[in-house]
Amino acid sequence: MSLLEIKDLTQLFSGLCAVSELNLSLDERELVGLIGPNGAGKTTVFNIVSGYYQPSQGDIRFQGQSLAGLKPHKVSALGISRTFQNIRLWKEMSVLDNILVAQHYNLGYGLGGLFFRTPRYLKREKDIRHHAMELLEIFKIDKYAEEKPSNLPYGMQRKVEIVRALSADPKLLLLDEPAAGLQATDVSELIELIRWVFEQFDLTIWMIEHQMKVVMSLCSRISVIDFGRLIATGTPEEIQQNHEVIKAYLGDDQI
Amino acid sequence: MKRLCVPILLFLLLSLLMGLAYFEVIDLYIQTIILFMGINIITSTSLNLVNGNMGEFSCGHAGFIAVGAYVSSVLSVALFTKSKIFGAPLLPPELAAYGFPFVLICGGIASALTGLLIAIPSFRTRDDYLAIITIAANYIIITAIINIDKIGGARGFMGMKRVIFAMEECAEIPWMVLWVFVFTVLTVIIIRRYMTSTYGKGVEAIRQDEVAAEIMSVNTNRIKLVTFMISSGLAGIAGGLYAHAVGYVNPKSFDILKSTEALVMVYLGGMGSITGSILSAVIFTLLLELLRPLQIIKWVAIPLLLIIIMQFRPEGIMGHRELSDIFPKLKKFYKFK
């Protein structure tokens, strides 16, 4: 059974068709790319999958369960986590607090426990903190735990955002242009990081990326969309040869 | 040592205040100012939760104070004293001293429920709209009180002094100093526990990026409701204390001007800072008394002060920092974050 199944997905924004009849499925333990020219509707697809938009038509199933009508926080509790194109960390909170807040799906205590500081509450808070610190250590950013994200270099902020997404223990990780705005050296580091994450964690990674170097070297399968339509899907080699894709990116050579 | 330091200090302060009041070293005027300080601390820290930490803009805090004041006043007068409206006391007046905190909490719960009623429709809209809705709610509450003749209407409601006398029958101590102190400390503890928990950090996340918060598994609607209810509930307790400290409530004293006072305290102290709100509540109370000789010009001087602060220090006295951030040595004794 596939992990994520998108069926006849259509998204209309007051008449504008951002995504049209998209069919796509992801298997478990896959590293898949989603590419397409600017404005093709890639981020819209991610926004629908993470529950931020409700699709106009079609259905999305995650591990067999329909995501229709679920709010984003419910979707992320099911195991879909994501990063954003323009980093959206909480900038005035410490890096550690950023990770902590992402644990809201699994706090395990109620307001009563919070105000009376019951043993259960104290234990859960300790566990959550421990889990967060552990992750920061794995990614060797524990020395920035008390730092505010805005004081970190851009590449490091990307890393923190990926760690925050991972901290929710996702089955599906959506990366929205992880290489955007990074310098060349940082990009090769990012490729290594994503590969490492994919090997170490039991998850499927689906990423949008414009830098072909990143997509071609990481993804085993790539889907291409243009004007909200799926125009091709296949291995990196197949995609590079695909006539439709070349046309979408470079235009028709018949002119 | 670190754990005991603050409780011991608070206990000493309470005994000092109670002692001074009991042996009449400080007169009733000074006592009232001290009571107002405590009440204002509750008002500003609770409003700070919504305006400072959550980043919403609630302008009708006085409405919740009014609900708490009236509910707890009516309850305590009906339960513990003989009055024209409610007749004989429903409970023996000797119980007043012990029943008083429950009456206050009832006022708080009533306020929290009112807060819930207002929050549900208002959080479907955003930012400025909450400001408008809360101002409207403030007026609705005031107008409702004015039109309920049974509780005095526009004339106000009194009889709470008799509740205090009933408490003093039980033991001759300055009860109001005790209760204001206890509830002020409780308020600060509640807010601090809330904001230092991972759950409460979701409130900060909502202020900084609500979309990211919702997508990173924070149930934003629920947290907003809970936070708003805590804030309005605590305001209700402040109202109950105010009503019993003054002994008389009037709907006019909870109008938009009172809400503005609460806002001034929050912005003066610094958004999102508990110690800032406490500090500014104390300063503001003192300032109001010091400027009393100016009479009506007072209301020119205080807004002017606000304008000056916004010009030169828009983040307020503390501005999202706690006292222990500014003086790190204090962390040896307590930590606020």
Do B215 and A100 make contact, defined as CB atoms within 8 angstroms? Answer: no
Q: Per residue of chain B (337 residues), what is the pLDDT tens digit?
A: 567 788 888 999 999 998 888 888 888 899 999 999 999 999 999 999 999 999 888 989 999 999 999 999 999 999 988 887 777 788 887 788 888 999 999 999 999 999 999 988 877 766 678 888 999 999 999 999 999 988 888 899 988 888 888 888 888 888 999 999 999 999 999 999 999 999 999 999 999 999 999 999 999 999 999 999 999 999 999 999 999 999 999 999 998 889 988 998 998 888 889 999 999 999 999 988 888 888 778 778 877 887 888 888 888 888 777 877 777 777 766 655 4
Residues A78 and A176 in one domain: yes
Q: With beta carbons under 8 A apart, name residues in chain A contacting B204.
A: 90, 92-93, 97, 101
Q: What is the DSSP letter of A210?
A: S
Does B216 contact A102 at a Cβ distance shorter than 8 Å? yes
Decide if A127 is inside a domain: yes
Residue A191 forms part of a structural domain: yes
CATH of the domain at A216: 3.40.50.300
Residue A184: inside a domain, yes or no?
yes
Q: Structural domains in chain B? A: 2-332 (1.10.3470)
- For residue B290, the distance in angstroms to the closest alpha carbon of chain A comes to 37
Residue of B194, B205, B215 lying closest to A114 (CB–CB):
B194
User: Could you give the CA distance from residue B248 to residue B243 in angstroms, rounded to a whole number?
Assistant: 6
Say how far apart CA A108 and CA A121 lie, in whole Å: 8
Examine the fold and report which residue of A81, A112, A147 is the final residue of a domain before the chain moves on. Answer: A147
- B residues 199..228 contacting A (CB < 8 A): 199-202, 204-205, 208-209, 211-220, 226
Question: What residues of chain A lie within 8 A of the CB of B202, using their CB?
Answer: 101, 104
Helix B160-170, helix B96-122: angle, nearest 10: 140
Residue of A nearest to B211 (CA): A52
Tell whether the model's pLDDT for residue A218 goes beyond 60: yes
Query: In this structure, is residue A121 part of a structural domain?
Result: yes
Domain that holds residue A106: 93-147
Give a yes or no: residue A111 inside a domain: yes
Interface of A with B in 111-130 (CB under 8 A): 111, 114-115, 117, 121, 125, 128
Say yes or no: A76 and A190 in one domain. Answer: yes
Which site among A92, A104, A157 would you substitute to test the B interface, given the most B Cβ atoms closer than 10 Å to its Cβ? A104
Judge: B216–A92 Cβ closer than 8 Å, yes or no.
Answer: no
- CA dist A101 and B216 (Å) reads 8
| Any domain includes A60 | no
Boundary (domain end) residue, out of A147, A170, A185: A147
What is the identity of the amino acid at A28?
E
CA dist., res. B202 & res. B153, Å (int): 41
Q: Do A194 and A226 sit in the same domain of this protein?
A: yes
Q: Which chain A residues have a beta carbon less than 8 Å from that of B219? A: 71, 73, 104
d(CA B203, CA B33): 33
One domain for residues A137 and A46: no
pLDDT of B337: 46
Assess if residue A11 is contained within a domain.
no
Q: How far is A121 from chain B (nearest CA, A)?
A: 9
pLDDT at A31 over 80: yes
The reply to whether residue A52 touches residue B213, judged by beta carbons under 8 angstroms, is no
User: What's the pLDDT band for A7 if we cut at 50, 70, 90?
Assistant: very high
- In this complex, which of A51, A92, A125 lies closest to B198 when CB atoms are compared? A125
Which residue on chain A is closest to B191 by alpha carbon?
A115
Is residue A215 domain-shared with residue A108, that is, in the same domain? Answer: no
- Residue A194 Cα to chain centre, angstroms: 12
Among residues A51, A117, A168, the alpha carbon closest in space to that of B200 is found at A117
Using one digit for the tens of pLDDT, what is the confidence trace for A82-100? 999 999 999 999 999 999 9
Say whether A77 and B214 touch across the interface (CB within 8 A). Answer: no
Give the mutation candidate from A80, A94, A101, A131 for the B interface (greatest B CB count, under 10 A): A101
Examine the fold and report which residue of A147, A166, A192 is the final residue of a domain before the chain moves on.
Answer: A147
In chain A, the residue whose alpha carbon lies closest to the alpha carbon of B214 is: A73
Residues 238-277 of B with CB under 8 A from A: none
For residues A48 and A46, what is the distance between their CA atoms, to the nearest angstrom? 5
> In B113-181, where do the E strands start and end?
157-158
* CB < 8 Å from B in window 128-157 of A: 128
Q: What is the DSSP string of A88-126?
A: ---TTS-HHHHHHHTTGGG----HHHHHHT-HHHHHHHH
In this structure, are A80 and A198 located in the same domain? yes
- Count of domains for chain A: 2
Q: Tell me: do A100 and A173 sit in the same domain.
A: no
Residue A229 placed within a domain: yes
**Do both A171 and A246 map to the same domain?**
yes
Residues A102 and A226 in one domain: no
* Digit-coded pLDDT (tens) for A117-174: 999 999 999 999 999 999 999 999 999 999 999 999 999 999 999 999 999 999 999 9
Q: Are residues A216 and A176 in the same domain?
A: yes
Contact B190 A115 (CB under 8 A): yes
Cα distances from B144 to residues A185, A247, B141, B239, in angstroms, run 67, 69, 5, 17
Residue A250's pLDDT band (boundaries 50, 70, 90)? confident
What is the per-residue pLDDT for B306? 77
A244/A223 same-domain check: yes
d(CA B135, CA B262) in angstroms, rounded, equals: 13
Please identify which residue in the block is written with the tokens 């001759």.
B172
Asked if B212 lies within 8 A of A84 by C-beta distance, the reply is: yes
The reply to whether A183 and A169 lie within a common domain is yes
Please judge whether A92 and B204 are an interchain contact, meaning their C-beta atoms are less than 8 angstroms apart: yes
